[in-house]
Homo-oligomer: A and B are copies of this chain.
Amino acid sequence: MFGVILAGGSGTRFWPKSREQSPKQLLRIVGPGTMIQNTVERLLPLIPADKIFMVTHALHAFETCRQTKTFGVPPSQLLAEPVAKNTAAAIGFAAKVLHEKDPDAVMAVFPADHVIKNPEAFHEILRRGEEVAAKGFLVTLGIQPTRAEQGYGYIKQGQALEDSEVAFKVERFIEKPDAATAKKFIDEGGYFWNCGVFLWKVSTILEEIQIHLPDLYEKLSAIVSHTIENNRKYPYRLLDSEGAKIYGSLASISIDYGVLEKSKRVALIPAKIQWSDVGAWDALQEVAEKDAHGNVFTENVTALDCSGSIIQGEERIIAAVGLKDLIVVDTPDALLVCNKNKAQEVKQLVNQLKEKNRPEVKLGVTVQKPWGSYTVLEKRDGYLVKRIDVNSGERLSLQSHNHRNEHWTVVSGTALVDLDDNQIILKENESLFIPLKSKHRLANPHGTPLILIEVQIGDKVDEDDLIRYKDDYDRC
């Protein structure tokens, strides 16, 4: 069985911890690792790493590779979408790639950013699902509803499948219902939440896509022929410009709406797995550890007389007095304070900030790069101070700037610097001046992390002032 993890989240509902560059699946929200790391780890007892594939936006490809490599998932198994086109396209893309390997294999599809608190039950369900999928069904897992939630799709259970102890036919799919309808579903019973976990044979889903989404089917072959794996450091699969053009022309449609609701081959398996989609900040109260007063606090919180509240901070100290049902999310450059009942409105708020072109929507102060990360410590007119963290064995591009000089001071590790025609070893407690327009390259060829403080000075100090000449990650 192949696993396909859909990691397409855009990260607005967990703002300000999530940003466009670092959506929820790439963050540590609950559990030991990031959401996608937890998802991979949950699958490993059932699906080996070399059979786990991922689909993500190209913007998140490096970081997704980096996070999943530690669990043995080969970067070549990451498929990078040039543009997000909903689940039908992503699943079709993955199915087409897997088809070359084994058209009769079962592929199981998983969202990258959900929580399942009973993994043993989940594994058992997947084993059963694999059997049903092998018979040619499109299997979807259904979660027993615990409340009249309007934010999910529902599946109406039909008759039991012949020869199966666990699977049922599907009477119908219902998109997000209104309040009254949702309540009716709960009262009547026999309705399940659609949790986005599916199992099917590669050949089955491609056949069904061919029937119900013929345009997508037709374009998939062309798309796959335009994948390239030319990145030396992180050889994930991305599309060349022609492939990207075709991908961009795909209809944006969900697999539920595009295929499952129309197909005659759908089966439902009810799953008691303590699932949560962790849809917004208030969901932390379902999935994280609470104190005696129902609070979910990070360690830096000092509280007096608080209950039912979620406070998530980083390094800054947070003092809370007399709070009830409040959400506070604190990051170095943006703070959210939100009534717990209004957690869904964070998305709307982020859209407002986007309209104002606020940079805090896209990036945080720490920006992940293929070679490590940089963190902005201060930016003012005429200068910018950054901490630069270069991972062991990585190096930045050979580059120059037209508007700024740079002053580098190594605070930990040893750097190897190319500066015009010279090569310089820069040790801890040593500084170097990088004049405007000089060609320079920063590398960490050693086994320990390299940390340096960079002071940029010039008439323009922003990321756009960058000319790349050579790059290990094909970003020229």
A interface list, Cβ under 8 A from B: 15-16, 302, 304-305, 311, 313, 316-324, 326, 328, 330, 332-339, 341-342, 345-346, 348-349, 352-353, 356, 358, 360, 377-378, 382-383, 385, 387, 405, 407, 409, 411-412, 428-429, 431, 433, 453, 455, 457
Q: Which of B304, B330, B428 contacts A345 (CB 8 A)?
A: B304
**A/B interface sample: 6 pairs, CB < 8 A:** A304-B348, A313-B335, A316-B335, A326-B326, A377-B377, A385-B385
Residues of B within 8 A of A324 (CB): 339
CB pair B322 A339 closer than 8 Å: yes
Picked from B323, B335, B377, the residue with its CB within 8 Å of the CB of A339 is: B323
Q: Which of A318, A321, A346, A453 has the most CB of B within 10 A?
A: A321
Contact of A321 among B320, B336, B377 (CB under 8 A): B336
Closest to A452 in B: B455
Contact residues in B for A326 (Cβ distance below 8 Å): 326, 337
Chain B residues near A383 (CB-CB < 8 A): 411-412, 453
A352–B321 alpha-carbon span in the complex (Å)? 12
**A317 touches which one: B346, B360, B429 (CB < 8 A)?**
B360
Q: State in angstroms the CA–CA spacing of A324 and B326 once bound together.
A: 11
Instruction: Tell me, in angstroms, the Cα distance from A328 to B345 when the chains sit together.
Output: 19
* Interface pair B334/A337, CB less than 8 Å apart: no
A166–B465 alpha-carbon span in the complex (Å): 71
A319 near B334 with CB under 8 A, answer: yes
Q: Chain B contacts of A15 at CB under 8 A?
A: 319
Please list the 4 inter-chain residue pairs (A to B) with the smallest Cβ-Cβ separation, ordered nearest first: A322-B339, A322-B342, A383-B411, A321-B338
Contact of A431 among B341, B353, B431 (CB under 8 A): B431
Residues of B within 8 A of A338 (CB): 319-323
- B317 near A337 with CB under 8 A, answer no
> Least Cβ distance of A36 to chain B in Å?
26
A355 to chain B, nearest CB (A): 11
- Residue of A15, A332, A336, A346 contacting most chain B CB atoms (<10 Å): A336
Q: How far is the CA of A431 from the CA of B430 in the complex (A)?
A: 12
What separation, in Å, do the CA atoms of A339 and B308 have in the docked complex?
14
Q: A317-B358, A345-B322 are in contact. Are A429 and B457 (CB under 8 A)?
A: yes
Bound complex: CA A356 to CA B333 (Å): 26
> In the complex, what's the smallest C-beta–C-beta distance from A329 to chain B, in angstroms?
9
